[in-house]
Amino acid sequence: MGLEGDALLNFLINGGELTKVKSNKWKKKRAFRLEEDGRTLRQEPHKGFKRHRTFSIDDIESIRTGRQTEGLQKCTDATLEEHCFSIIFKGKRKNLDLVASSKEDAKKWVAGLRKVITNLENLSSQQKSEHWIISCMKKADKNGDNKMTLKEVKSFLKQINVDMDDAYAADLFAKCDTSKSNTLEGEEIKQFYDMLTDRPEINEIYETYAQTGGLMSVGDLQHFLQKEQLEKVSNEEVKKLIDKYEPDLTAKQNERMTKDGFLMYLNATEALIFNPAHIGIYQDMTQPINHYFISSSHNTYLMEDQLKGPSSTEAYIKALLKSCRCVELDCWDGPDGKPIIYHGHTLTSKVLFEDVIKAIKNYAFKTSEYPVILSLETHCSVPQQKVMAGHLKQILGDALLQRPLGTKAPTCLPSPEELKRKILIKGKRLNKLEAAFNNNTTEDVGTVSEEDEAAEAKTEGEQEAKPKDPKKKKINLAKELSDLVIYCKSVHFTSFEHSHGKQACYEMSSFKESKAKHLGETSATGFIHHNMEKLSRIYPAGSRTDSSNYNPVTMWNAGCQIVALNFQTAGKEMDLNQGRFLPNGKTGYILKPEFMRNPDTEFDPINLTQGSWLKKKTLHVMVISAQQLPKLNIDKANSIVDPFVKVEVIGVPADRESAQTAYINNNGFNPMWNKNFKFNVRVPDLALVRFLVMDYDTASQNDFIGQYTLPFTSMQNGYRHIPLLTKSGDVLPSAKLFVHIMVRNP
């Protein structure tokens, strides 16, 4: 990885003792070191345990210095601040909280691990693939003699997810064993690697266009990019691609691209399925905030289910780092006058309101600089509400929006650009916003009708109970907290007519999923017009005790902005959410299509009529192959996946369609399908495309291998690789799909 001889790398490889902290009572010294492959962290076995534990560097999300996790804050002394660091893993694996014996050692561990992580992340796709294959070879080389016997080759093939026929494996081995020593070494291993990783489908494309002495000239590559990829590229741009991706110096000097260079280019970010023009912020961020879809979380404090799961500041950090821009805080009276956050009337654990606000302050703008909305559901007494207001002001400081922008009451909401790096409070307010511009004479405490969501949650599932009139349920509200609610004042929803005629632009309603679905299916155009003026927040039904999610697409199709999902629950719904917010710099804000912002629109997603939204397209997808799919059952040497691919279009009801390939027996390394599909898409501006790879199983449910979801309008045409993501939305190292995409006007 270019780190040979590096002092920090040597420090990690030599390793040392660290104190592992799990609780106040469980703090034990353990020896850690980086293995020679440069991508595995090893915890050495200790007394009474023969097995060592290993952690892949690929599975590490970040390294935090100091006492920045709940575990270290609660279980270590402040004097050890500079001795502490934490390894934060992707997905649901718990943090590894560690204490070094000295500040210097802590610094070396942190700097060394960060260096290795950064280095791995900066490898090209081709290098990552080679690195992974070589590390698998090293594991198969049991005696470490840098030679491979036929038995070791078979073991290696199983590791990389290929179940190769014994006779075929022996034949491949014999072809490469040119020294006839019954082992492969040096150049023989290189030849074996080349034969194994050969991509016939790429060779075919390359040979079709490499018309200059068996290589691609500038003209040949330009022809390929224009004809197949539908990219308008100049001669100069093509020369830059050759200069950037061609590994052979002679070919580069002669302005030629070899097959290796062509494969490097096809695996590069700019050549993947996701349009590189959409990676950064490319949308207008100066429209009113209600003209955007906003990435939003429900019950953000929960790590698992909502009956007995743990609450944690870590859940807020994870959501904010995934560019979530609206988080929920369920606030209740806590002991010693300290407000707490948890799922009321359940066995979920509790976390201090103050700690959550500190975590939000530290992580709100790490991924996106655009505004964060704190959706408060307040069940606290007035004294503890005053404590909440104090924490919000003191901890968030200038980031907290405490006054409206401008000098008079707003007639429309400000834009994400105007609210950059600001934190907004959503909740109940005692008076109109106009009071902020007058001498406010509101009393210290007032009463307001209880937040709809809180009232509904309590009666969820009580079918026979008469609906409670929310106007009759009153709660006391402290002026200090009320005054912090500026552009997101919670009000009860009566009807679209009432909202339009009687409510201000900064007054917004929350809708339970069933209510929102009903409105989206029966009065979609009315809902879209309502959302042109106001914000709407949608939340999952209280009956979802397992923290499952509803389909957010239905709500987006009705123009709803704050479609709150349980970020802690992986699944198709969260895949769709990640896909929706993939473009525009991962800001957590996506500008709604023009026809959802135009007051004259008659767009109805359920009953499609003629209009600017109707841009009929035909999508042709050829699923060609996949590369290096992960083994699902690592413990079973003979367990090899039988992959198939499902392609789904998800948008307005008329655009919901899917198709799938047959499964390939026992090959997760380089399965080939060459299967064509055709989809008709009517409203491309609202459509998402999802590529799902599954492991076929005759006896039980098919298992998830990986997926990738992106907006229809962010796809590139032509031959494209698709990176695959895990259930929790992290990139699977080396695993890809190879497809051909063609979007045509019918």
Residue 474: predicted pLDDT: 82
Among residues 239, 271, 303, the one where a domain terminates is 271
Would you put residue 214 in left (φ > 0), alpha (ψ -120 to 50) or beta?
Answer: left
CATH number for the domain harbouring residue 679: 2.60.40.150
**Distance, CA of 611 to CA of 250 (rounded, Å):** 55
Please report where in the chains the tokens 């525009």 appear, as a residue. Answer: 584
42 labeled part of a ligand binding site: yes
40 labeled part of a ligand binding site: yes
Is 135 among the domain residues?
yes
Is 610 among the domain residues?
no
Is 11 among the domain residues?
yes
**Distance, CA of 532 to CA of 432 (rounded, Å):** 21
Q: Where are the alpha helices (DSSP H) in 399-511?
A: 452-459, 479-482, 496-502
Is 601 among the domain residues?
no
Residue 717: predicted pLDDT: 98
Q: Residue 672 is encoded by which pair of tokens?
A: 């080939």
Same domain membership, residue 161 and residue 75: no
Is 700 among the domain residues?
yes
The set of residues, in sequence order, having a beta carbon less than 8 Å from that of 439 and lying 6+ positions away, is none
**Distance, CA of 148 to CA of 186 (rounded, Å):** 10
696 labeled part of a ligand binding site: yes
Same domain membership, residue 633 and residue 567: no
pTM over 0.75: yes
Residue 458: predicted pLDDT: 41
Write the DSSP string, 647-699.
Answer: EEEESSGGG-EEEEPPP-TTBSSS-EEEEEEEEEES-GGG-EEEEEEEE--SS
Low-confidence ranges of the chain (pLDDT < 50): 454-467, 470
Closest alpha carbon to 189 in 205, 178, 201: 178
21 labeled part of a ligand binding site: yes
Q: Which of 131, 291, 343, 530 is catalytic?
A: 343
Same domain membership, residue 720 and residue 635: yes
Among residues 122, 155, 177, the one where a domain terminates is 122
**Distance, CA of 62 to CA of 606 (rounded, Å):** 44
Strand 27-34 versus strand 40-43 pairing type:
antiparallel
330 labeled part of a ligand binding site: yes
Please report where in the chains the tokens 């005696």 appear, as a residue. Answer: 143
**Distance, CA of 568 to CA of 574 (rounded, Å):** 9
Same domain membership, residue 558 and residue 431: yes
Write the DSSP string, 241-287.
Answer: HHHHH---HHHHHTT-B-HHHHHHHHTSGGGSSB-GGGTS--S---S
CATH number for the domain harbouring residue 308: 3.20.20.190
43 labeled part of a ligand binding site: yes
Residue 306: predicted pLDDT: 78
Closest alpha carbon to 738 in 3, 11, 204, 238: 204
Domain count, the chain: 5
36 labeled part of a ligand binding site: yes
Q: Which of 298, 529, 721, 740 is catalytic?
A: 298
730 labeled part of a ligand binding site: no
Q: How buried is 214 (Cβ within 10 angstroms: 0-12 exposed, 13-18 middle, 19+ buried)? A: exposed
Contact present, 329 and 319 (Cβ < 8 Å): no
Same domain membership, residue 231 and residue 139: no
CATH number for the domain harbouring residue 249: 1.10.238.10
Is 277 among the domain residues?
no
Same domain membership, residue 529 and residue 415: yes
Is 280 among the domain residues?
no
Among residues 151, 172, 196, the one where a domain terminates is 196
Residue 593: predicted pLDDT: 98
**Distance, CA of 448 to CA of 451 (rounded, Å):** 9
Same domain membership, residue 185 and residue 241: no
47 labeled part of a ligand binding site: yes
Same domain membership, residue 693 and residue 565: no
Same domain membership, residue 78 and residue 34: yes
Range of the domain at 498: 289-461+468-596
Cα–chain center distance at 434? 39
Same domain membership, residue 573 and residue 714: no
Is 611 among the domain residues?
no
22 labeled part of a ligand binding site: yes
The reply to whether 343 belongs to the active site is: yes
Would you put residue 710 in left (φ > 0), alpha (ψ -120 to 50) or beta?
Answer: beta
Same domain membership, residue 724 and residue 640: yes
Same domain membership, residue 216 and residue 237: yes
Contact present, 576 and 552 (Cβ < 8 Å): yes
377 labeled part of a ligand binding site: yes
Q: Residue 160 is encoded by which pair of tokens?
A: 């990389």
Contact present, 477 and 445 (Cβ < 8 Å): yes
Residue 469: predicted pLDDT: 56
666 labeled part of a ligand binding site: yes
